[in-house]
A and B are shown apart, each in its own frame.
Chain A
Amino acid sequence: MKIKASKPTIVEADMTPMIDMTFQLIAFFMMVSNLEQTQADERVKLPADRLARPPEGPREDEVVLNVGFIRNKQGEKADPEAYVFFGGEDNIPVLKCGPRLKREYDVATRREGEKAAQDMTVVIRADADVPTGLVQELIKMGQEQKFSKFSLKAKSGENED
């Protein structure tokens, strides 16, 4: 019996479905990833509220103040004093951040002009446990630096029990 010598076979996998799926995954992640520079600070545990809906359009100019506590890994307060977090280790006690707000106002005035600086919204992202009096003190310090618009942030969701 004659045995035919068979050629070495090369199995060519069909790559098209895999590439299709990979492109779809890339498109999905590109759409859901937020590449905007958010000024949120993860140390701040915002209160949740049903009526807190994201604004329809982004604000042109705003000053974001993250107010919260320095917490340990278990989430307990390591320091009873509330701070304004300006990124990294730049934490200023709430009652001492008047000069910092003045600097923010001066920078905004130089960049945008005085009218635009006064119309900037000061967005206060305050931790749910921060005393309301400190939030009011912050608003008052902002008013002393001629800011006129203030808003309080809350995360969307069911009200806390």
Chain B
Amino acid sequence: MKIRRKDDGGGKVDVQMAPMIDIVFQLLIFFMLTLKILAPEGDFNINMPLGAVGDPNPDITPPTNLDVVLTANDDGTLRQVSLGGRPLGNNFPSCFQTLNQEIEIAVRDSRKFSEDLEVTLTPDYNLHHRYTVAAISACRGKVGPDGRTITFVEKIKFSNIQRPE
């Protein structure tokens, strides 16, 4: 029997690209649509004393404790920032830069590790949260010239709640 030699075009196999491209485009569209651009977030650890509401007794404040008091206007904006009873102004955000510098000096002067220092924040009840976060950040540290965070004080706590009378 004579076998005919079938001309198969030199063994070239045509791969069907269309289904693969369909799927690839569907995947691409899926990832494009599900992409959600979120700003990165960071957090500040904070403590608050347990116990009854009341004014903190200044007599039992340890010497390494720094008291930051934030008072508010009726509309919740900042009225005054003070460190250890010394007013630092209310010009937001420059007053927090001043606070940051004062804390840095206090940390340097105390000649102790920053772990030994503690900042107590006493914000007014109606003060907007943005000012509290700015105060926590000013006490926590600063961004160094190389972009790294230089920590001044690790322990930051709220005082007892200053409920309006």
> Which residues of A pack against B, CB within 8 Å?
15, 18-19, 22-23, 25-26, 29-30, 32-35, 38, 40, 46-47, 49-55, 123, 125-133, 135-137, 139-140, 143, 149-157, 159-161
Chain A residue at minimum C-beta to C-beta distance from B76 = A131
Dominant SS among interface residues on chain A: mixed
CB distance from B37 to the nearest CB of A (A): 8
> Which residues of B pack against A, CB within 8 Å?
17, 20-21, 24-25, 27-28, 31-32, 34-36, 38-48, 50, 70, 76, 92-93, 96, 123-134, 136-137, 140-143, 149, 158, 161-164
Would B140 and A155 count as touching, CB distance under 8 A? Answer: no
Write out the residue numbers on chain A whose beta carbons fall within 8 Å of the beta carbon of B46.
Answer: 139, 150-152
Would B93 and A23 count as touching, CB distance under 8 A? Answer: no
Would A153 and B43 count as touching, CB distance under 8 A? Answer: yes
Write out the residue numbers on chain B whose beta carbons fall within 8 Å of the beta carbon of A125.
Answer: 41
Chain B residue at minimum C-beta to C-beta distance from A67 = B129
Write out the residue numbers on chain A whose beta carbons fall within 8 Å of the beta carbon of B129.
Answer: 47, 126-132, 135, 152
CA gap between A156 and B48 in the complex, in Å:
24
Would B17 and A15 count as touching, CB distance under 8 A? Answer: yes
Would A151 and B44 count as touching, CB distance under 8 A? Answer: yes
CA gap between A55 and B40 in the complex, in Å:
10
Write out the residue numbers on chain B whose beta carbons fall within 8 Å of the beta carbon of A30.
Answer: 31
Write out the residue numbers on chain B whose beta carbons fall within 8 Å of the beta carbon of A46.
Answer: 41
Chain A residue at minimum C-beta to C-beta distance from B25 = A22
Write out the residue numbers on chain A whose beta carbons fall within 8 Å of the beta carbon of B143.
Answer: 50-51
Would A153 and B31 count as touching, CB distance under 8 A? Answer: no
Would A52 and B43 count as touching, CB distance under 8 A? Answer: yes
CB distance from A93 to the nearest CB of B (A): 16
Write out the residue numbers on chain B whose beta carbons fall within 8 Å of the beta carbon of A29.
Answer: 28, 31-32, 35
Would A52 and B44 count as touching, CB distance under 8 A? Answer: yes
Would A40 and B38 count as touching, CB distance under 8 A? Answer: yes
Write out the residue numbers on chain A whose beta carbons fall within 8 Å of the beta carbon of B42.
Answer: 49, 51-55, 153-156
Show 6 residue pairs from A and B whose CB-CB distance is below 8 angstroms, ordered by the A residue: A15-B17, A29-B32, A139-B48, A143-B48, A154-B43, A160-B93
Chain A residue at minimum C-beta to C-beta distance from B27 = A26
Would B48 and A47 count as touching, CB distance under 8 A? Answer: no
CA gap between A26 and B35 in the complex, in Å:
11
Write out the residue numbers on chain B whose beta carbons fall within 8 Å of the beta carbon of A127.
Answer: 129
Partner of A155, one of B40, B50, B128: B40
